[in-house]
Structure 1
Amino acid sequence: MGNKPKTTDGLMRHMRDNKKLNIGGSKQKRQLRNIGYFHGYKGYNFYQRKENDLSYSEFTELHALYEFDTEIKTLFYRHVMFSETAIKNRILEIIHKESGYDLEPLFEKVLIDYKKHAPGHKEYKKKLAQTLRLRKDIYEKIHENCNTKPYISHYIYDDRPVPVYAVFELLTLGNMVFLTRCLKDTMKINLLKDLDLFITSFEKNEKIIGDLIDCLKGLRNAIAHNGVLYDCRFKDNSTGKQLTEYFNVKMKVKNLEFNRIVDYLAVIILICSSLGYSKTELKRIVREFETSLNKLRNELKHNISVYDKIIGTDVRTKINQINTYINNIS
């Protein structure tokens, strides 16, 4: 027979006796119950991988990290969701100008990135496969939602094709990554220019919009599903040097590897600035981030090695570079 489940008191004894973590009293018992042993304690006692144990001696340190994580989710949530909607609408607007409202011209005139390669070339096959997968996903979403989403059923029941703008209501950021990668290059460039993200001197502009949305996707999903944020374990492994180089040129923010939470502050500031946030609004985001950061550092003042491990030793440098970018926005 399996082991009998532990009570909260039993879990606290386990944490004291086996994990050498100082925890006790009614307040900390309530905090443990609120954050959960498996979601809270088990989720915040390591950095990125379980073998990277964080050497806490006090439960207050772990709880401070949990509180920091929650505050950053709250700070980022509104701006990430706004960015998702705004970027989708900008893409939709450009598609309407190119191919109208009907769905089929989308595949005939817009999602034709594969055609820049010779038929039979490995890149042609790879990108055609992406486009066909996207096409399949779109029609499956229409089928799955034809009876539950009024903005879809309205057209189905009226025996009319579902327009692109209705389909966009069904698309996730994951779908949008595929869609932007499948766009023909001229439309990718037009989108970057519309968002004031185009850099004349950058050689791979056409790939950046897909990379940015892909980077935003992991952050968005972690926030929306209450995942752990602070150590960026949500990061997609495909986020690489190209995006690092882009931020270096565009924002003059260096060494972004997207494995520190401050790196995603830079992502949010860049996207929100491109969508029309004022300097005051952008500075407020950075200031609130710093407030939570200072609070965490104070809580970990007797365990600075843990703070440096999870936040990074160059966090202040990156924040200063982000603020310089904001100050230089015209």
Structure 2
Amino acid sequence: MAKTNPGRFFEDYRVGETLIHAVPRTVKMGERALYHMLYPARHALYSSDVFAQSCGLPFSPLEELIGFHVVFGKTVPDVSLNAVANLGYAQGRFVTPVWPGDTLRAVSEVIGVKENSNGKTGVIYVRTRGLNQHDELLVDYVRWVMVRKRDLSAPAPATVVPDLAAAVEAADLVVPRGLDFSRYDFALAGEPHRWGDYAVGERIDHVDGVTVEQAEHMQATRLWQNTAKVHFDATARPDGQRLVYGGHVISLARALSFNGLANAQMIVAINAGAHANPCFAGDTVRAWSEVLDRADTAAPGVGALRLRLVATKGDAPPFALRDEAGKYRPEVLLDLDYWALIPM
């Protein structure tokens, strides 16, 4: 009997099956220190216990993307070990903060399958839930991933493509218990811009860039225990290149967005996301944002912005997203639509 796990292939998935992912992981301040080193993140709520306490929280939580990456990494051996590429996200919600000392685990349900026309690969859709040691929901999201077939002669399963909402409704956003921005310190946060200073349709060039290094992106992906072959094994792709984990690009772009959105403190939902083109070591990542919507919340002094965060590579001009045919331009790496909490 084989003791090793070669990973699942497209024909191994069945709509409705539940995948319980190994291995639970306890996260502490070490994850924060490494996260801040790798990206580098510097939003005040996640950098200072004192700042977080002034905003009504008991102390500073871990970045929501730390929780996302850890949960995502748990799913890889069962969902995307044999992936060609992770394609996109929808209906993501960050429900409960991740606190130092929490133990995270992940469960997924297969909600869709669709074989590609080439007969060599297919797309699977999963809904993943990240839970803590109290079985509280931390994060849930849908993602879809292109996976190789083991047997090219295997018959195509019946196509099931889930009907996904275009966005999380503002009324469904979960504000952390106790969050209060009525005494928010803009000087310590780094910028004076508040909820009312952002207009729907406004675009922000985040100016800065970060060049991705080979060792750096592999170190980050190992941190999240993401074992997908395309990130580490140079023989896993025909071109011999190691693909940068898409979540690494998300965190880089989020960190770059501090310049212009320093007060967009907490991501509370991912409405949609697409990894438009692959990222490789040597690419220089830049970012720009567009304000898509604004909403009130019931929490004192707390508003919500719906933002489009676009990551590009090279010297691409800001605000260029699609070509005349409506396709993503080749320099676009990421198109992420999310909700963030910001002081009013």
TM tier, smaller? under 0.3
Which structure has more strand as a fraction of its residues? 2
Task: State the TM-score, normalized to the length of structure 1.
Answer: 0.23
Larger radius of gyration: 1
TM-score with structure 2 length normalisation?
A: 0.22
